[in-house]
Amino acid sequence: MESFSNSALLLIDLQNDFCPLGALPVDEGDQVIPIANALMPYFDIIVATQDWHPANHGSFAANHPWRKPGQVIDLHGLPQVLWPIHCVQHSFGAEFVQELDQTKISKIFTKGTDPTIDSYSGFFDNGHRKATGMGDWLKEQGVKTVYVMGLATDYCVKFTALDALGLGFRTYLIEDASRGVNLSPGDVDKAVAEMAEKGVSVIHSAEIIKA
C-alpha cells in the first residue's frame, strides 16, 4: 500500500447534524463516511475538524428575532448566512458520525466556538481574525500537501481548501468524498470551479485507493 508521506487527510465536519437525520442535513452526507474510512489507511496524518458552537452562536437564525435560516445578515461586520441550530457543544449532533473510524484520527480541531463570528474553514474564522492552530500543527508535522474531503463542499470544505492554499499547502479536493448544501442550485458546482480556478487539484478517491 502506497503511503502519502508529507501529506495529511483533512476530514471536514463529519458530524451527526450534517447527515440526513441531523439538524442541518447535507443531502447524501452520510455517504462520504465509508469513503473516509477507506482513505484513512493511506495516510499517516489524519486531521478532523469539528463544528463546535455555543448555544448562543450568532449564526443561528433562532438567536435573531424574526429571522429564518437561509437569510443573510450583517454579523459584526461580516455577511452571515443564518442556519438552523446545529453542532452545539457537547450535543449528540456535534458528535462525529458513529460509523467513522475515529481510531485513526491524529488530531481534532474545533471551530465556530466564538459566538460573535462563524468559522467555515478549519484553519481560521470567517474574518481571519483568529486561527484554530491547525495550520501551524500541520507544518510542525512536516506536512506539505493536504487532501480535503467532507461536509459541506460549498462551505466548510471550500473555505478550508482555499485557506490551505493560502498557507502554502499543495491542496487536493477529493470531490466524490464531499457533499454540498446547495442553498441555491449550482452552488456546489460553483464551489468546485472556484477551488480549481484558484489552484486546488480536484481528484476522485479512486486515484488514492488502489484496487
The 10s digit of each residue's pLDDT in 166-200 is 999 999 999 999 999 998 999 999 999 999 999 99
Catalytic site positions: 13, 111, 156
26-70 pLDDT, tens per residue? Answer: 999 999 999 999 999 999 999 999 999 999 999 999 999 999 999
Contact between 127 and 153 (Cβ < 8 Å): no
Nearest alpha-carbon partner for 55 in 26, 94, 7: 94
Task: Using the Cα atoms of residue 94, residue 95, residue 98 and residue 104 in order, give the sign of their dihedral.
Answer: positive
Name the domain count of the chain: 1
Instruction: Evaluate whether residue 63 is within a structural domain.
Output: no
Phi, psi of 40 (to 5 degrees): -55, -40
Instruction: Evaluate whether residue 84 is within a structural domain.
Output: no
How many Å apart are CA 136 and CA 58, to the nearest integer?
27
Cα separation values, 160 from 13, 56, 73, 99, Å: 11, 24, 22, 23
Structure-block grid coordinates of residue 160: 478550508
Instruction: Evaluate whether residue 85 is within a structural domain.
Output: no
Domain that holds residue 12: 7-54+91-207
How many Å apart are CA 40 and CA 11, to the nearest integer?
10
Q: Is 68 helix (H, G, I), strand (E, B) or coil?
A: coil
Instruction: Evaluate whether residue 95 is within a structural domain.
Output: yes
Question: In which element (H, E) is residue 108 found?
Answer: strand 107-111
Full-model pTM: 0.96
Tell me the CATH number at 172.
Answer: 3.40.50.850
* pLDDT at 1 (0 to 100): 47
Outline where DSSP puts E strands in 37-77: 45-51, 72-75
Q: Is 145 helix (H, G, I), strand (E, B) or coil?
A: strand
Instruction: Evaluate whether residue 37 is within a structural domain.
Output: yes
Confidence class for position 5, pLDDT limits 50, 70, 90: confident
Instruction: Evaluate whether residue 199 is within a structural domain.
Output: yes
Beta bridge partners of 107: 47
Instruction: Evaluate whether residue 98 is within a structural domain.
Output: yes
Instruction: Evaluate whether residue 121 is within a structural domain.
Output: yes
